[in-house]
Amino acid sequence: MPLSGLFIPVITPFAADGTVAWPALEALAVDLLRQGADGLVALGTTAEPSALSAAERRDVLDLLAAVCRDHDAPLIAAANDPGELRMLADRPAVTAALTLVPPFVRPGPAGVLAHFAALAAASPVPLVVYHVPYRTAQPLTAATLRELAALPGVAGIKLATGAIDPEVIDLLAGPPPGFAVLGGDDVVISPLLALGAPGAILASAHVATADFAALIAAWRDGNPVKARPLGHRLARLSAALFAEPNPAVVKAVLHARGRIPSAGVRLPLVPAAAASRDAALALLR
């Protein structure tokens, strides 16, 4: 399946006692697909994977794979090392792995290229490079991103540079053939789509899912009259949903709307303040 359209990095809902709320996770995943998401992402940062046990991560992956299989939807699974990639081999619903540019160590462009070449050679599925330099501390030029795109087994990128900067404009002005540029910065997703990104991975789309799907479709169909005001409204919503560390506000809103049993997050995150929740809810109303 092509890597385009709306992908949602699914949260991990918790019950009041802090355990994973499995029925709520399944219901939420089904609802997101029915409301217009083209596919889902398992175990992205929005899912709080570092706070989950190995068994919980495995079960989250299996549950979302089953939902996507039943709905004929693609699943992207976060996997950052050979062991995590091997886990994807016997899960046919997983169509790609979301793999982070090595964080903190700053290996430089040559190191990043060598890293992804090795992982792609060992991976049972194509890789989507997760480029988020304000978290990894590893900037990459458009030229380096094109070199990444040329690697066998690299199918796309989640582009989350935090801005519409010259490197982003350069890449989208001439994207490599067959290389999917998926926007990953919720607040600026509309201008990224206007520049030609074929899709997005958006945590904000847990709410107003149909509107985010409509935004992507409007830019794809060349309808700026519809896309611009919709993009402005959704940018304000995304800013409210990211007013505190993700996914705290998203969870608070989902809980307030009765879609998950609690607004709980696991440490080091803490629950969103009531004011942040209410500000996002007001924009939805």
The residues carrying an active-site annotation are 130, 158
| Residue closest to 18 by CA, chosen among 273, 277, 272, 263 | 263
DSSP assigned state of 43: S
What tokens appear for 187 in the block? Answer: 């607040």
In whole angstroms, give the CA distance from residue 147 to residue 109.
10
What tokens appear for 236 in the block? Answer: 């304000």
In whole angstroms, give the CA distance from residue 128 to residue 120.
10
Answer yes or no: are the C-beta atoms of 5 and 199 closer than 8 Å: yes
Helix spans in the chain (H): 22-34, 54-70, 82-86, 108-122, 133-136, 142-149, 166-173, 189-194, 209-220, 224-241, 248-256, 274-284
